[in-house]
């Protein structure tokens, strides 16, 4: 059993930021999880170092491209090492073996007839290293991805026959339901390919910092386009084109990518692989972006987050937990110190750390810190079954990269433990002389905490190892099998006194950048579209859970939803979201619903409300609570 997990190789035009850390920590948690389950796991990360942008950045700093790439690549590797990222290989696109592998791939595709020579003329964005047809530009000149001005480039180029693979790509998406995760992102890819694929320019002659073409082609003025070079790292890292010693790990199980590079990974990369006759990766797992206090991060605003600064202030493992718990995978997330402090104080301090404190306190007071599980199965069958049921739901959540849901569900077993203490009251049992029952209750809680620590280990490896050692065991593949897969319990052990794992944070630990006071504007008395607060309060928005979803026949846009708003029966809502979600994506998802909208008929179906969504050029996303709420909870 093997697993191959990759991050993108990060472009060395800048130092690492929170987005890089987010991708890498997700991949690291996944690698640790699969290793814990006994998979032979290979985890790849690295840096992308060629291209015009690097050549220009190096020139501005008075360095050679290689010197500049060496400097920035070292910063990425240093940070991942300080973050104890468990990568198996750190690849650089300047590595000799990578260069040989890319040249070998180019030669194969060229000899197959999938690469041909021509002339390219079009708009090119240096920042994104991408060509764009004029129809995709903003105001006919600005890049649709980054907004920067493009340049018109006319030069000789080699082209990859991307158009040849359009139908095969659509067939791939149709056959592999989870090729792109989350599944809602796959719809964006399908629409892009259905819009028609143009052959891809894959070489440049206007700069020299790139991989030269194979000597057999004898065209030394060309270097390879950065995306062809970069994407092939996933196989050259395994020895493709050289010794191929690690190629048994291919295909990749998970390519972790940000949404801005989804097209390259879900369209160009599979087409290259089809040309090379290599198997397809199993999942392109695509996450959103991080904002700060609701604003997009940028150097000009001074709000870019240095992950090292945050981790040093709040603790690396707390930071890891926050990143994976705070945001549903695939959606954009907002970073604020308040949100981070809330997670540390409440989730980690009150729910997790306090449970260990309660075990230590009760075992010390009643049993001289010795805990024995001999009566747990007899006296707490209900709680054990509830815990087992939750644990059985967790693997599919990780396999779909739904880390926020995984942690949300895992925390439910901590709730079982805390409720058991309050319900069974071991202090009362001791007064009644029922020492065996008090012991069984404390042992139940210790076992729930042990299972939680094992499952949380990929996210917080050092913290959970401390918890495990307090409970008399170590977290290993063997203990995962023993306690999680075989559902065994702790043996008799003595628990040591342990300092609090999560000291309460009373105030932000980092200074926030001062915001400039907004300029005062003269209010308009009758501004078009403005409503009063009284008008706003007439709208009733409630949280609902989607119980059923199906397509509306003969409609390209509509889905019929049954949404539970905590009322006597679910509401039927007709929503124009079919282009972005499949019915199976939606079951169990929580959404915000305008609950007092006058019912209307759409395509002959009664719609009793409206789900809220946000839409931009990246697509449409349903609006829902960050954490699960009771059906019918009002949005205020």
Please list the residues that pair with 615 across neighbouring strands.
620
Contact 190, 266 (CB under 8 A): no
Kindly state the tokens that stand for 94.
């300047």
Alpha-carbon distance 498 to 405, whole Å? 30
| Number of C-beta neighbours around residue 218 at 10 A | 7
List of the chain residues with pLDDT < 70: 298-300, 513-529, 532-534, 537, 616-618
Identify the sign of the CA torsion 123, 14, 230, 222. Answer: positive
Which residues in 400-424 are b (16+ Cβ under 10 Å) and which e? bbbbbbbbbbbbebbebbbebbeeb
Q: CB-side exposure of 3: number of CA atoms within 13 Å?
A: 22
Contacts of 91 (CB under 8 A, 6+ apart): 9, 44, 45, 46, 47, 98, 233, 236, 237
3-class secondary structure, 56: helix
Kindly state the tokens that stand for 24.
């890498």
The predicted pLDDT at position 604 comes to 75
Is 592 labeled as ligand-binding? no
The fold of 533-622 is OB fold (Dihydrolipoamide Acetyltransferase, E2P) (2.40.50)
Kindly state the tokens that stand for 448.
């729930």
The predicted pLDDT at position 513 comes to 60
Is 125 labeled as ligand-binding? yes
Alpha-carbon distance 11 to 257, whole Å? 13
For tokens 């809680």, name the residue: 445
The predicted pLDDT at position 151 comes to 86
For the stretch 334-389, pLDDT in tens is: 999 999 999 999 999 999 999 999 999 999 999 999 999 999 999 999 999 999 99
Going from N- to C-terminal start, the domains of the chain cover 331-494, 533-622
Alpha-carbon distance 470 to 197, whole Å? 58
Q: Give Dmax over CA atoms of the chain in angstroms.
A: 91
Q: Which H/E stretch holds residue 204?
A: strand 203-204
Alpha-carbon distance 4 to 256, whole Å? 11
Kindly state the tokens that stand for 54.
């690097």
From the candidate CATH numbers 3.20.20.30, 3.40.50.410, 1.10.730.10, 3.40.718.10, the one assigned to the domain spanning 331-494: 1.10.730.10
> How distant, in Å, are the alpha carbons of 58, 211, 226, 232, 356 from that of 53?
9, 15, 10, 19, 52
Query: What 8-state DSSP symbol labels residue 196?
Result: -
> DSSP labels for 70-91?
HHHHHHHHHHHHHTT---SEEE
């Amino acid at each position: 059993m093997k697993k191959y997990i990759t991050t993108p190789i990060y472009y060395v035009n800048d130092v690492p930021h929170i987005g890089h850390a987010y991708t890498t920590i997700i991949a690291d948690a996944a690698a640790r999880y699969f290793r814990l389950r006994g998979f032979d796991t290979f985890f790849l990360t690295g840096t992308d170092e060629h291209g015009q942008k690097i050549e220009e950045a190096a020139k501005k700093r008075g360095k050679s491209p290689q010197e500049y790439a060496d400097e920035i690549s070292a910063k990425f590797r240093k940070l991942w090492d300080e973050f104890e990222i468990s990568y198996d290989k750190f690849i650089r696109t300047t590595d000799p073996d990578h260069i040989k592998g890319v040249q070998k791939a180019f030669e194969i595709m060229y000899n197959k007839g999938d690469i041909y020579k021509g002339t390219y003329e079009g708009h090119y964005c240096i920042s994104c290293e991408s060509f764009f047809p004029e129809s995709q530009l903003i105001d006919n000149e600005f890049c649709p991805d980054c907004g920067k001005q493009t340049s018109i480039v006319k030069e000789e180029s080699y082209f990859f026959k991307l158009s040849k693979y359009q139908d095969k790509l659509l067939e791939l998406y149709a056959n592999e339901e989870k090729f792109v995760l989350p599944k809602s992102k796959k719809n964006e890819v399908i629409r892009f390919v259905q819009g028609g694929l143009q052959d891809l320019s894959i070489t440049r002659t206007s700069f020299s910092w790139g991989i030269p073409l194979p000597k057999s082609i004898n065209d030394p003025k060309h270097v390879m386009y950065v995306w062809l070079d970069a994407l092939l790292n996933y196989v050259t890292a395994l020895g493709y084109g050289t010794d191929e010693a690690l190629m048994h790990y291919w295909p990749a199980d998970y390519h972790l990518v940000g949404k801005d590079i989804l097209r390259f990974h879900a369209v160009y990369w599979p087409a290259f692989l089809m040309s090379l006759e290599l198997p397809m990766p199993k999942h392109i797992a695509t996450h959103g972006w991080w904002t700060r206090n609701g604003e997009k991060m940028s150097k000009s605003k001074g709000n870019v987050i240095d992950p090292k600064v945050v981790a040093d202030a709040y603790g690396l493992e707390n930071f890891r937990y926050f990143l994976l718990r705070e945001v549903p995978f695939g959606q954009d997330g907002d970073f604020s110190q308040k949100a981070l402090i809330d997670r540390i104080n409440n989730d980690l301090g009150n729910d997790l750390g306090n449970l260990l404190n309660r075990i230590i306190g009760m075992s010390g007071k009643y049993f001289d810190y010795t805990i024995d599980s001999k009566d747990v199965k007899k006296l707490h069958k209900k709680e054990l079954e509830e815990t087992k049921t939750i644990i059985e739901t967790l693997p599919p959540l990780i396999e779909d990269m739904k880390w926020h849901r995984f942690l949300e569900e895992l925390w439910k077993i901590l709730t079982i433990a805390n409720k058991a203490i309050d319900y069974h009251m071991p202090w009362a049992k001791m007064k009644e002389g029922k020492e065996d029952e008090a012991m069984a209750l404390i042992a139940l809680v210790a076992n729930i905490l042990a299972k939680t620590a094992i499952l949380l280990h990929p996210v917080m490896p050092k913290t959970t190892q401390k918890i495990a050692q307090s409970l008399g065991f170590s977290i290993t593949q063997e203990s995962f099998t023993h306690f999680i897969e075989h559902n065994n319990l702790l043996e008799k052990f003595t628990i040591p006194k342990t300092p609090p794992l999560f000291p309460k944070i009373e105030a932000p630990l980092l200074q926030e950048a001062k915001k400039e006071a907004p300029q005062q504007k003269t209010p308009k008395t009758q501004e078009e579209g403005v409503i009063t607060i009284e008008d706003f309060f007439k709208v009733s928005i409630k949280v609902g859970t989607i119980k059923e979803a199906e397509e509306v026949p003969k409609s390209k846009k509509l889905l019929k939803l049954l949404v539970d708003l905590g009322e006597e029966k679910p509401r039927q809502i007709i929503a124009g979201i079919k282009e972005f979600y499949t019915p199976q994506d939606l079951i169990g998802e929580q959404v915000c619903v305008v609950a007092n909208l006058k019912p209307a008929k759409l395509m002959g179906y009664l719609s009793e409300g409206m789900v809220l969504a946000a839409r931009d050029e990246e697509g449409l996303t349903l609006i829902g609570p960050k954490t699960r709420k009771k059906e019918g909870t009002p949005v205020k």
